[in-house]
């Protein structure tokens, strides 16, 4: 993958096709590889598709300081990547953790990100009560997985003990195959840790070939997991940093896509966040697509449905 210096780090990225630019942001614990089914379809539809490994992942630099992973850094990376590639503006599309990056990019820099599509994680604006981690701890949710991720070194050791088993269990556990067979990974992490708390996987589902599991596992075995975990360690800091935008809606065209079995949609207040996007927190909302039979990794589990929804959204801009 080519690399470019942007926002003080080296960013590895894919760049395919020509036409209006699209920037695809992956989530945790993944890589730009998670968009492998979207790239050819979007290029064939007439777009230039740019897919970075996000800060802390894969071929992109992973700074040592936890404080270098705030939402402002993550949005800044995308702006700087556009600058480095000579792109004035684009549509930004994000999945999982990449979705909050995309939503915030559209909120903070609508001049550069003219439209936004979020996958799996609805736009959830800054609330008045404080950061998510402090709120979870105040409610006694000390084993909530995001809280479990806070202590440096703990989750790293858990996940890195066997990267192949980590990705095999976590990817299947959050998919429709995991949710519908009661193999979902636990929101409350047991004493044995997150990976061992997930059910073993006997047979991989059709959407997740062995080669893809190996690709993720081999990459994370080389890089470790600290970079991606540091995103979670800035959740409360992000709440403080985004105070100037409290109550400001996203004004660019927006849409949301998720699998019907995605566990994120069943988290507290997600139903309210989804409803609020319809004209309240997003003033130019173009609709929600719930993909039948898919779980959290919707663009990998149901690529044709996601590609159809994305291209319809893009054609309407």
Q: Which of 26, 95, 104, 296 is catalytic?
A: 296
Residue 9: strand pairing partners: 6
Which 3 state secondary structure label does DSSP give 289?
A: strand
Instruction: Burial-class residue 83 by CB neighbours within 10 Å (0-12, 13-18, 19+).
Output: middle
CB within 8 Å of 14: residues ≥ 6 apart: 1, 32, 39, 49, 50, 51, 52
Q: Which of 77, 96, 158, 262 is catalytic?
A: 96
CA-to-CA distance for 178 and 205, rounded, in angstroms? 10
Phi, psi at 223, each rounded to 5°: -90, -25
Phi, psi at 242, each rounded to 5°: -95, 10
Q: Is 68 a catalytic residue?
A: no
Q: Between the CA of residue 238 and those of 49, 57, 73, 217, 232, what are the distances in Å? A: 28, 20, 10, 29, 10
Q: Is 296 a catalytic residue?
A: yes
Q: Which residues are catalytically annotated?
A: 96, 296
């Amino acid at each position: 993958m080519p690399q470019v210096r942007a926002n003080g780090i080296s960013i590895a990225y894919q760049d395919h096709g020509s036409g209006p630019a699209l920037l695809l942001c992956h989530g945790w614990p993944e890589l730009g590889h998670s968009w492998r089914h979207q790239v050819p379809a979007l290029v064939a539809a007439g777009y230039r598709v740019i897919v970075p490994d996000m800060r802390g992942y894969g071929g992109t630099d992973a700074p040592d300081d936890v404080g270098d992973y705030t939402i402002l850094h993550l949005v800044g990376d995308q702006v700087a990547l556009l600058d480095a590639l000579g792109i004035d503006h684009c549509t930004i599309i994000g999945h999982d953790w990449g979705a909050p990056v995309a939503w915030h990019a559209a909120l903070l820099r609508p001049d550069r990100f003219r439209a936004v599509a979020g996958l799996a994680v609805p736009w959830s604006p800054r609330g008045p009560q404080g950061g998510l981690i402090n709120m979870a701890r105040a409610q006694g949710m000390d084993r909530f997985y995001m809280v479990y991720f806070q202590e440096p070194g703990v989750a790293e050791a858990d996940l890195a003990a066997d990267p192949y088993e980590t990705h095999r269990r976590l990817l299947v556990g959050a998919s429709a195959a995991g949710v519908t067979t009661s193999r979902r990974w636990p929101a409350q992490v047991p004493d044995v840790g997150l990976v061992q708390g997930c059910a073993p996987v006997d047979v991989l589902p059709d959407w997740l070939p062995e080669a893809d599991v190996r690709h993720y596992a081999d990459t994370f075995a080389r890089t470790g997991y600290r970079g991606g975990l540091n995103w979670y360690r800035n959740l409360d800091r992000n709440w403080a940093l985004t105070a100037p935008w409290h109550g400001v809606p996203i004004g660019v065209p927006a849409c949301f896509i998720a699998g019907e079995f995605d566990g994120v949609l069943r988290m507290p207040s997600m139903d309210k966040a989804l409803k609020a996007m319809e004209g309240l927190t997003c003033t130019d909302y173009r609709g929600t697509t719930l993909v039948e039979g898919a779980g959290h990794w919707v663009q990998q589990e149901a690529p044709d449905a996601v590609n159809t929804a994305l291209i319809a959204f893009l054609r309407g801009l």
